[in-house]
Chain A
Amino acid sequence: DIQMTQSPSTLSASVGDRVTITCRASQSISSWLAWYQQKPGKAPKLLIYTASTLESGVPSRFSGSGTGTEFTLTISSLQPDDFATYYCQQCNTFPLTFGGGTQVEIK
């Protein structure tokens, strides 16, 4: 199985901050990576797929980059609606695997 490791697990930031979350795969997954946002009590929401393609309707302050084994999700200017937990998921091979999540908290 491909293991997905996210860091940090928790991140404290203020509105307007630039935020970066890292996701590492235990082996190369090319660009087959998705990012999700999840708010308490809600289903995850797809933000980015194929590492850098923004899902329709997702604000442009979100961006993704990386290939191979290292990936990043960046929020260019954190907004109040962005405080949530973020997950990466490798879409390269079955079994599909998720990272452990990064909770973005208000500083």
Chain B
Amino acid sequence: QITLKESGPTLVKPTQTLTLTCTFSGFSLSTIGVGVGWIRQPPGKALEWLAFIYWDDDKRYSPSVKSRLTITKDTSINQVVLTMTNMDPVDTAAYYCAQRLGSGRGFDYWGQGTLVTVSS
């Protein structure tokens, strides 16, 4: 059974750095073809892809926020971490991590999401 769960602060102040952790089980991020991504969704708005990390540590970022993002993985403890610097109220959103089984597929399994509010 594959599960993912996001954790991190629910409230951050403007200009602070957000660190979110995705803890997963039921698969290995060492398996060829597997990757984990982060997607966010502002309240009442559409989904926005942010970052993706492959099994071989290759990384991809959304150009719109690339300068602010870092994605890393720790395969030994089944975690993927996303950091986003210089948070702004417009970054208020539900943040999801999700697994992709292979290239060209959608995201097969999603975490429940975590709502992050940016406010002073």
The chain A residues found within 8 Å of chain B, CB to CB, are: 1, 32, 34-36, 42-46, 48-50, 55, 87, 89, 91-92, 94-101
Chain A contact residues, majority secondary structure: loop
Interface on B for A, CB 8 Å cutoff? 37, 39, 46-49, 52, 60-63, 96, 98, 103-108, 110-113
A46 touches B106 (CB 8 A): yes
> Which of A32, A49, A96, A97 contacts B52, CB < 8 Å?
A96
CA distance A99 to B49 in the complex (A): 11
Chain A residues within an 8 Å CB radius of B96: 43-44
User: A35: which B residues are within 8 A, CB to CB?
Assistant: 106
Chain A to chain B contacts (Cβ below 8 Å), 6 pairs: A46-B106, A48-B106, A49-B105, A89-B47, A95-B63, A97-B49
Q: Is the CB of A91 within 8 A of B52?
A: no
- Cβ contact within 8 Å between B106 and A94: no
